[in-house]
């Protein structure tokens, strides 16, 4: 019975159902982003030889596997949200042997005026903000159930987080771009309601969400949608190490939004810094012979 359930992840030629890759097409070291356009801008950092493997799945995942400074790495664009992170981590885990080291590079909103638009936060921990459906749909009095639930903080891998802080501080930090190690970040299950964006067309009951979040978690400096679930999954399975960094796109306290020219300038530097942190990383149980499949 169990075997049948786990095999449901696979299609007959050995590819996992949604990410659509098979054994040998994903390296032990992974940089994941949301936006496929960002992935296509990063793939030029990979060694020209051997020619990288590239595949776009029908369900919105783009995977590029090659070598960076001679070390096998995978870049994968996953789109947005918890469900996309979940398919990615579980399906990649199913087709890669040995240790996985995963770095996410995403964008975020800032809750901390000292983390302005264009800066980069590297959280030590992330909590998950979940919509509590019982608030709207339960039998009980609406007031008895809070509309949003805040999980306890979920730690990133301490060594990988420190490697990212060092790599980004060394090559991205400047007078206009702050790079900061953060105590706490939050990931929400939605962009609008559970990130405290008011939408008059919907009764989201989120007017006090940001205040409630910061009151309960004074260290919480930034907000996006994927990293807490990535860290969560890394704790549920042995041999997965994960950390994340986020570029501030939106200032949620002052209202500023990032200038696309700033993204254009910083993004490649951040991409290289993520790859440098990853290849400097000692993956204990790597299976380089798997690389032969795509090479
Ligand atoms: N993101 C947020 N909130 C922000 C800024 C960026 O969720 O304020 C991230 C997460 C998601 C995408 O992938 O960017 C949504 O635009």
Cβ < 6 Å from ligand 1: which residues? 34, 80, 106-109, 191, 195, 223-226, 249-250
Give the pLDDT of residue 294: 63
CA–CA separation, 52 and 44 (whole Å) = 10
Atom of ligand 1 nearest to the CA of 250: 8
Contact indicator for 104, 33 with CB cutoff of 8 Å: yes
Ligand 1 centroid – CA 12 distance (Å): 35
Q: For the chain, what percent of residues have pLDDT higher than 90?
A: 87
pLDDT confidence tier of residue 4, bands split at 50, 70 and 90: low
Sign of torsion, CA 236 92 89 53? positive
Give the pLDDT of residue 8: 59
Nearest residue to 56 (alpha-carbon basis) of 72, 23, 79, 80: 79
Say which range, 37-51, 194-208, 279-293, has the weakest mean pLDDT: 279-293
For residue 195, pLDDT beyond 60: yes
Contact indicator for 132, 145 with CB cutoff of 8 Å: yes
Q: What is the mean pLDDT of the chain?
A: 93
> In this predicted model, what pLDDT tens digit does every residue of 86-95 receive, in sequence order?
999 999 999 9
For residue 287, pLDDT beyond 70: no
Ligand 1 centroid – CA 224 distance (Å): 5
Ligand 1 centroid – CA 189 distance (Å): 11
Ligand 1 centroid – CA 39 distance (Å): 16
Contact indicator for 36, 75 with CB cutoff of 8 Å: no
Of 35, 84, 108, the one to substitute when testing ligand 1's pocket (max ligand atoms within 8 A of C-beta) is: 108
Ligand 1 centroid – CA 281 distance (Å): 28
CA–CA separation, 238 and 98 (whole Å) = 10
pLDDT confidence tier of residue 283, bands split at 50, 70 and 90: confident
pLDDT confidence tier of residue 216, bands split at 50, 70 and 90: very high
The closest residue, in CA terms, to atom 16 on ligand 1 is 191
The closest residue, in CA terms, to atom 6 on ligand 1 is 108
Give the pLDDT of residue 1: 47
Of 191, 250, 251, the one to substitute when testing ligand 1's pocket (max ligand atoms within 8 A of C-beta) is: 191
Give the pLDDT of residue 6: 63
Ligand 1 centroid – CA 188 distance (Å): 9
Highest mean pLDDT among 140-144, 175-179, 286-290: 175-179
- Beta-carbon contacts of 69 under 8 Å, excluding residues fewer than 6 positions away, are 47, 275, 279
The closest residue, in CA terms, to atom 14 on ligand 1 is 107
The closest residue, in CA terms, to atom 8 on ligand 1 is 109
Contact indicator for 55, 49 with CB cutoff of 8 Å: no
Ligand 1 centroid – CA 264 distance (Å): 17
Ligand 1 centroid – CA 285 distance (Å): 33
For residue 295, pLDDT beyond 80: no
pLDDT confidence tier of residue 12, bands split at 50, 70 and 90: confident
Atom of ligand 1 nearest to the CA of 188: 7
Q: What is the DSSP string of the chain?
A: -HHHHHHTTB-TTS-BTTT---TTSS-SEEEEES-HHHHHHHGGGS-SSSPPEEEE-TTS-EEEEEEETTEEEEEEE--SSHHHHHHHHHHHHHH--S-EEEEEEEEEEES-TTS-TT-EEEESEEEEEEE-THHHHSSS-GGGS-SEEEPPPEEPPHHHHHHHHHHHHHHT--SS--EEEESEEEEESSSSGGGT---TTS----TTHHHHHHHH-TTEEEEESSHHHHHHHHHHSTTEEEEEEEEEEEETTT--B--HHHHHHHHHHHHHHHHHHHHTS--SS--GGGGGGT-
For residue 31, pLDDT beyond 60: yes
> In this predicted model, what pLDDT tens digit does every residue of 34-84 receive, in sequence order?
999 999 999 999 999 999 999 999 999 999 999 999 999 999 999 999 999
Ligand 1 centroid – CA 108 distance (Å): 5
> In this predicted model, what pLDDT tens digit does every residue of 106-152 receive, in sequence order?
999 999 999 999 999 999 999 999 999 999 998 878 788 999 999 99
Please give the CATH superfamily to which domain 2-293 belongs: Nucleoside phosphorylase domain (3.40.50.1580)
| Residue 231 CA, distance from chain mean position | 9
Can you tell me the ipTM of this complex? 0.99
CA–CA separation, 121 and 155 (whole Å) = 15
CA–CA separation, 131 and 188 (whole Å) = 8
């Amino acid at each position: 019975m169990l075997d049948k359930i786990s095999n449901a992840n696979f299609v007959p030629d050995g590819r996992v159902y949604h990410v659509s890759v098979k054994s040998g097409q994903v390296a032990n070291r992974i940089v994941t982003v949301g936006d496929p356009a960002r992935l296509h801008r990063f793939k030029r950092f990979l060694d020209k030889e051997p020619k990288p493997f590239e595949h776009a799945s029908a369900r919105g995942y783009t995977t590029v596997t090659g070598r960076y400074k001679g070390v096998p790495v995978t870049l994968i664009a996953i789109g947005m949200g918890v469900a996309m992170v979940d398919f990615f981590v579980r399906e990649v885990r199913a087709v890669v042997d040995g240790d996985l080291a995963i770095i996410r590079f995403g964008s975020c909103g800032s809750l901390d005026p000292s983390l302005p638009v264009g800066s980069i936060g590297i959280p030590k921990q992330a909590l998950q903000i979940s919509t509590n459906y019982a608030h709207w749909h339960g039998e009980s009095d609406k007031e008895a159930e809070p509309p949003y639930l805040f999980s306890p903080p979920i730690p990133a891998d301490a060594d990988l987080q420190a490697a990212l802080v060092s790599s980004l501080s060394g090559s991205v930090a400047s007078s206009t771009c702050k790079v900061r190690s953060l105590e706490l970040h939050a990931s929400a299950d939605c962009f609008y309601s559970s990130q405290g964006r008011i939408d008059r067309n919907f009764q989201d009951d989120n007017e006090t969400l940001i205040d409630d979040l910061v009151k309960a978690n004074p260290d919480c400096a930034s907000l996006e949608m994927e990293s807490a679930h990535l860290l969560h999954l890394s704790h549920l399975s042995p041999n997965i190490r994960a950390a994340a960094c986020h570029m501030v796109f939106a200032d949620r306290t002052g209202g500023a939004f990032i200038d696309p020219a700033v993204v254009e300038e910083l993004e490649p530097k951040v991409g290289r810094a993520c790859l440098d942190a990853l290849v400097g990383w000692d993956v204990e149980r790597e299976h380089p012979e798997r690389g032969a499949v795509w090479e």
